[in-house]
Amino acid sequence: MIRTQGLTKRFSGGQLAVDGLDLSVPRGSVFGFLGPNGSGKTTTIRMLMGLVAPTSGMATVLGESMPQSVNRVLPRVGALIEGPALYGFLSGRENLVRFDSADPTSDPRTRSARVGQALERVGLAAAAGKKARAYSLGMKQRLGLAAALLQPRELLVLDEPTNGLDPQGMREIRALVREVAAEGTTVFLSSHLLDEIEQVCTHAAVMSKGRLLVQGTVAELAARAQGRLVVRTPDTEEAARVLAEQRVTGLQVTDGQVTGDPAGADASSDDELLPRICAALVGAGVRVRGFGLERGTLEDAFVALTGEGFDVAG
């Protein structure tokens, strides 16, 4: 649905915002575009949507070159980028009517019904008559999302869609993204929130300082991070000693639990490693009440790739 090759954007002041991006978004995926604020996500989206021209490289959206094919592509795409631009003196409903009227592909005969359905989907039906200038940031974000959902789209591009929302609002928008994806729409979702990507996305790419670090399925990216070994026992000091002997590193001891990184322990697989360590613990008289590997997370993978972290909760 989206493909870029060497996509680069350097602004007039010399700032390199996006550096040689090679991106591939599969059809039918919920694709998380992940990175800290300032990593080049929004600039990339603006190039994909034909809002700014790349300095070099190429991008195709729905199989069409951008920005050359913007008039053919954009009617098939719903987008919310950097927050919605609203007419403050118009109500929420009137804003959507204005947006829909500007779409040459929309059917005026079904406009009222589609506007009502879009407002209902994002939870704004009760506030539809309120002036947009009186909307909170979260309500404005919902209205922008409603505008993107006025018609069925092949591709939905969302730039930080939960920005300004409270936790309940975040959950509702994530549920809506899953619903839209289940209807067959490919979703490209930019976010700096790791848990947001992990909860709703099938695929993801990680950006940092304008460069693409890695892309793949969410499971593949999380698997890049070694899981931590967790031993639950009342004999934490003895367990830590045995684990150190087994070359488990990064040991952390808390009340009733010892965790560590088993990467340094010699074994060809987890099937060989874990029974050996568990046997060593039991042989030393450690009372093992729980034992296993906690899988790696996107946060673990990001830190392993970059040596830095960023916001992990909404």
- pLDDT by residue (tens digit) across 26-60? 999 999 998 877 889 999 999 999 999 999 999 99
Q: Higher-confidence residue: 312 or 69?
A: 69
Domains in the chain with CATH codes: 2-223 (3.40.50.300), 228-295 (3.30.70.100)
What are the pLDDT digits (tens) for 281-312? 999 999 999 998 876 666 666 666 655 554 44
Q: Which two tokens stand for residue 131?
A: 């002036």
Q: What integer pLDDT is reported at residue 313 of this predicted model?
A: 40
pTM above 0.85, yes or no: no
Q: What integer pLDDT is reported at residue 164 of this predicted model?
A: 79
What are the pLDDT digits (tens) for 90-141? 999 999 999 999 988 899 999 999 999 999 999 999 999 999 999 998 899 9
What are the pLDDT digits (tens) for 165-215? 888 888 888 889 999 999 999 999 998 887 788 889 999 998 888 999 889
What does the pLDDT average to over 264-291?
83
